[in-house]
Amino acid sequence: MKYTDIQQKSEAELVELVAATRDELRAERFRDRFTRKASIIRNAKLTIAQALTELTARRSLSDTK
């Protein structure tokens, strides 16, 4: 998912995205080591980080107003 897509989502959608992606990451980590995919884990971690960064930026911006 691109960061521009993440920026266009609402706060509720971002929270839901983080929760769903964390579940996906957890499920992928507990798979058999021969069947799990490193790219899925890497992309999930990136998506979580981007969504949390955007949430933090929005919340800090609303606190300064």
CA distance 59 to 52: 10
- Comparing 62 with 23, the larger pLDDT belongs to 23
Q: At what angle do helices 11-29 and 38-64 cross, to 10 degrees?
A: 150
pLDDT of residue 65: 64
More confident residue, 16 or 65: 16
Q: Is 60 exposed, middle or buried (0-12, 13-18, 19+ CB in 10 A)?
A: exposed
pLDDT of residue 64: 78
- Taking 80 as the threshold, does the pLDDT of residue 63 lie above it? no
Summarize pLDDT for 17-58 with one digit per residue, the tens. 999 999 999 999 998 888 888 999 999 999 999 999 999 999
